[in-house]
């Protein structure tokens, strides 16, 4: 597998590779990952049965927008790929990032004569920012399309990603395999544990709590959730728990003064299930979302989800697990929140149904089984 980063780097794609990789190893698949070497890490280590090769790299932590840091410069990557191909003779290279690898890497893989697979973890950029949308779409027209054309097979993380990103003449070689959730970690809390977390966060135990988890950027549509909450809280005792990081965090923190809003910057990963679990509902107001992992994690914790009717969110949420609203519509978000506040039975049933849906379709075990079957039918 090829990805710019891997363990101990903790990002969404890296987590995906680790969680599915260790389960594929248990099924008898030999997995190796070639990624950038982070400071103070070894050039080779075994992580949960996965052979992890780190190529010498310079990691750039500051980039000109819209490029997101960190970004690796790995001058030895091509040589390391060729050496690995000659020594290990893998059946396939499996790429998990089409944006970080350019023509040089593409030429090296072609030279190795090892066929490659491609997983699309991101759809064609849309509603992120004008510069990101333009540059991302331009890249996909040139380099991204080349990766898709030459890939043996393509996995897309949602039907939306497939249809919006892959040219129509290439869609015949695509398979949709959704992202996964650790259902052992993300699970409903008992009432006493729920109240304990609320107490730690200084949130009331007897008032509704809405949770938002995600980056503080325009794409996530926080503006519309904020407008909705501001209006609703004038006449009702409700609370908003906002968790994440990003360039707009401080802006919303200042705007939330004198409001019943608790904001947590860059919460530890192990705390997220607890923060979900102490809430009554989750709102995902994104303007663009290739998959929407936060919605699946909230459902795993037994929460009903109010989410924008966009991208992969439409594939996660059904009528009996949450409420889909028009993207960018604060009034519809308000109506969804009110509906769930007023109807406790509906709220609880949606939470139970959501948990069952995640266990069936979006657990790491299900995702790994789908990837294993994909490999076995190559």
Write out pLDDT tens, residues 227-286. 999 999 998 999 999 999 988 999 999 999 989 999 999 899 899 999 999 999 999 999
Whats the size of the chain, residue-wise?
A: 378
| pLDDT at site 131 | 77
* Cα–Cα distance for residue pair 230/17, rounded to 1 Å: 40
Residue 16 burial by Cβ neighbours in a 10 Å radius (0-12, 13-18, 19+):
buried
Q: Where are the domains of the chain?
A: 12-180+364-376, 191-361
Assess whether pLDDT exceeds 80 at residue 65. no
Kindly give, in sequence order, each residue whose CB lies less than 8 Å from that of residue 132, ignoring residues fewer than 6 positions away.
65, 66, 125
More confident residue, 103 or 362: 362
Mean pLDDT to the nearest integer, 143-170 = 96
Strands (DSSP E) contained in 202-344 are: 209-213, 239-244, 261-265, 281-284, 305-308, 322-325
Q: Taking 80 as the threshold, does the pLDDT of residue 21 lie above it?
A: yes
Q: How confident is the model at residue 54 (pLDDT cuts 50, 70, 90)?
A: very high
DSSP string, 59-125: EE----TTSPSPEEE-TTHHHHHHHHHHHH--S-EEES-SSS--HHHHHHHHHHT--EEEEE-SPSP
Q: What is the per-residue pLDDT for 67?
A: 65
pLDDT digits (tens, 9 = 90+) for 201-213: 999 999 999 999 9
Q: What is the pLDDT of residue 66?
A: 59
CA distance 286 to 225: 10
Phi and psi at residue 171, to the nearest 5°: -70, -15
pLDDT one-digit tens code per residue, 302-361: 999 999 999 999 999 999 999 999 999 999 999 999 999 999 999 999 999 999 999 999
pLDDT at residue 137 is higher than 80: yes
The span from the CA of 228 to the CA of 337, in Å, is 9
Q: Tokens 């506040």, residue?
A: 341
Read off the pLDDT of residues 100-114 as tens digits, 9 standing for 90 and up. Answer: 888 889 999 999 999
Q: In whole angstroms, what is the distance from residue 285 CA to residue 330 CA?
A: 9
Q: Which CATH class is domain 12-180+364-376?
A: alpha beta
**Mean of pLDDT values over 138-159:** 93
Tokens for 299?
């459902």
- Average pLDDT rounded to a whole number, residues 3-32: 95
Strand, coil or helix: what is 33?
Answer: strand
Q: HEC string of 139-181?
A: HHHHHHHHHHHHCCCEEECCHHHHHHHCCHHHHHHEEECCCCE
191-361 shares the fold of 12-180+364-376:
yes
> In this predicted structure, what is the pLDDT of residue 138?
85
Strands (DSSP E) found in the chain: 32-36, 44-47, 50-55, 58-60, 71-73, 93-95, 116-120, 154-156, 174-176, 209-213, 239-244, 261-265, 281-284, 305-308, 322-325
Question: Which residues on adjacent β-strands are paired with residue 283?
Answer: 306
**How confident is the model at residue 11, as a pLDDT?**
86
Instruction: Supply the DSSP symbol for 258.
Output: T
Average pLDDT, the chain: 94
pLDDT at 69: 73
Torsional sign, CA 13, 46, 94, 371 = negative
**Is 191-361 a CATH 3.40.50.2000 domain?**
yes
- Centroid of chain to Cα 245: 15
């Amino acid at each position: 597998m090829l990805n710019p980063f891997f363990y101990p780097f903790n990002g969404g794609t890296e987590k995906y590779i680790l969680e599915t990789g260790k389960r594929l190893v248990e099924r008898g698949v030999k997995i190796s990952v070639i990624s950038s070497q982070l400071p103070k890490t070894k050039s080779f280590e075994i992580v949960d049965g996965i052979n992890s090769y780190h190529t010498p790299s310079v990691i750039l932590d500051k980039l000109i927008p819209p490029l997101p840091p960190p970004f690796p410069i790995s001058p030895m990557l091509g040589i390391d790929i060729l050496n690995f191909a000659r020594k290990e003779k893998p059946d396939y290279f499996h790429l998990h990032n089409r944006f970080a690898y350019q023509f040089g890497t593409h030429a090296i893989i072609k030279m190795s004569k090892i066929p490659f697979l491609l997983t699309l973890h991101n759809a064609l950029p849309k509603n992120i920012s004008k510069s990101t949308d333009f540059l991302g779409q331009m890249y996909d027209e040139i380099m991204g399309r080349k990766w898709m054309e030459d890939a043996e097979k393509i996995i897309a993380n949602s039907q939306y990603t497939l249809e919006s990103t892959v040219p129509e003449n290439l869609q015949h070689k695509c398979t949709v395999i959704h992202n996964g959730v650790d259902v052992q970690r993300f699970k409903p809390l008992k009432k006493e544990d729920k109240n304990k977390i609320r107490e730690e966060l200084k949130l009331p135990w007897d008032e509704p709590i809405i949770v938002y988890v995600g980056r503080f950027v325009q794409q996530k549509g926080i503006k519309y959730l904020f407008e909705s909450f501001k209006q609703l809280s004038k006449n009702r005792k409700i609370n908003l728990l906002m968790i994440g990081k990003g360039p707009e965090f401080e802006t919303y923190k200042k705007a939330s003064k004198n409001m019943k809003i608790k904001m947590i910057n860059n919460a530890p990963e192990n705390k997220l299930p607890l923060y979900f679990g102490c809430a009554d509902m989750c709102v995902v107001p994104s303007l663009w979302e290739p998959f929407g992992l936060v919605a699946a994690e909230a459902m795993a914790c037994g929460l009903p989800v109010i989410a924008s009717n966009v991208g992969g969110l439409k594939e996660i949420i059904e009528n009996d697990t949450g409420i889909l609203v028009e993207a960018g519509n604060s009034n519809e978000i308000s109506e969804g929140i009110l509906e769930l506040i007023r109807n406790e039975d509906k709220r609880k049933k949606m939470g139970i149904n959501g948990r069952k849906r995640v266990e069936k379709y979006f657990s790491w075990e299900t995702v790994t089984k789908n990837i294993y079957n994909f490999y076995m039918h190559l």
